[in-house]
Structure 1
Amino acid sequence: MARLLLILALVATAFWVYTIVDCAVQPAGRHRGVSKPAWMAIVILLPVLGGILWFLVGRGRAGGPAPRRAPDDDPEFLGGLSARARADQDERIRRLEEELAELDSEADDPSETRPAPKPDDDGPGDTPGKGDDDTRGQRGAVG
């Protein structure tokens, strides 16, 4: 009987030490219920019962809040980024189309007069459109 009590005392002491260490090394955000110092006091002052409460109530689950990810690893961020980029691109295309339509309407405006092209001074016997060019295509040369 004494051996059984000794083994039980060793197991209870090992459990108590393990719960103290586990409670101490957990980040403050993983403690549920009360604050980290309060859990430490509960675990130390109520050796076995405090440890059981710690594992049932106080210790946060490993699958709790997901750790923050870098933006290039976060699909939600990338989805929002592509949506914003698409909206910005659509807005830019719309503005460019408006500017193009405005330029087209200015070009089609009949009130704007353009000088007519000057006809070439072709003399009699000259090739039409050649002007003063000789047969080799040099201007001003006399043949």
Structure 2
Amino acid sequence: MARVLIVGGFLAVVFWVFSIVDCAVQPATRHRGVRKGAWVAIVVLIPVIGGILWFSIGRRRKDDSDTRPYAPDDDAEFLRGINRKEQDARIRELEEELAKLDEDGDHPDPRS
């Protein structure tokens, strides 16, 4: 029984130190919720539970910010690649086609 407590205590200390080091060396952009200093304080002051909190909710994974889905109009590279004049001309063409269809009355029955 004593050996289990000693090994468990040793593992808790190793996890605690690893959590402190991991939290301290991560850039501030990889911390969620509160600031980096607050996370370090949480991990130091609440040994095992602070480390569990850090790894479960505080630490942002690298792929969290890299693969976040966003709308095309939020992507600067996409916006640079758009030729605005061509897009406006295509929209005008489509609007004209829709207007002709409205005039002709050739609307397909949406229920069929």
Which category describes the TM-score, using the shorter chain as reference length?
Answer: 0.5 to 0.7
Structure 2 stretches of 5 or more lacking a match? 68-74, 87-112
Query: Counterparts in 2 of 1:21-100, with a 5 A limit?
Result: 21-66=21-66, 77=77, 79-84=78-83, 87=85
Greater Rg by CA: 1
Q: Which runs of 4+ in 1 moved over 2 A?
A: 79-84
Q: Measure the CA separation in 2 of the matches of 1:12 and 1:2.
A: 15
TM (norm. structure 2) is 0.62
Compute the RMSD of aligned alpha carbons. 2.6
Query: What amino acid is the match of 2:19?
Result: T
Q: Measure the CA separation in 2 of the matches of 1:87 and 1:80.
A: 13
Structure 1 stretches of 5 or more lacking a match? 68-74, 89-143
* Residue-by-residue CA offset, 1:46-65 (whole Å, 9 max, x unaligned): 11010011111111122111
Higher relative contact order (CA 8 A, sep 6+): 2
* Percent of pairs with identical residues: 52
Aligned residues: 81
Q: Per residue, is there more helix in 1 or in 2?
A: 2
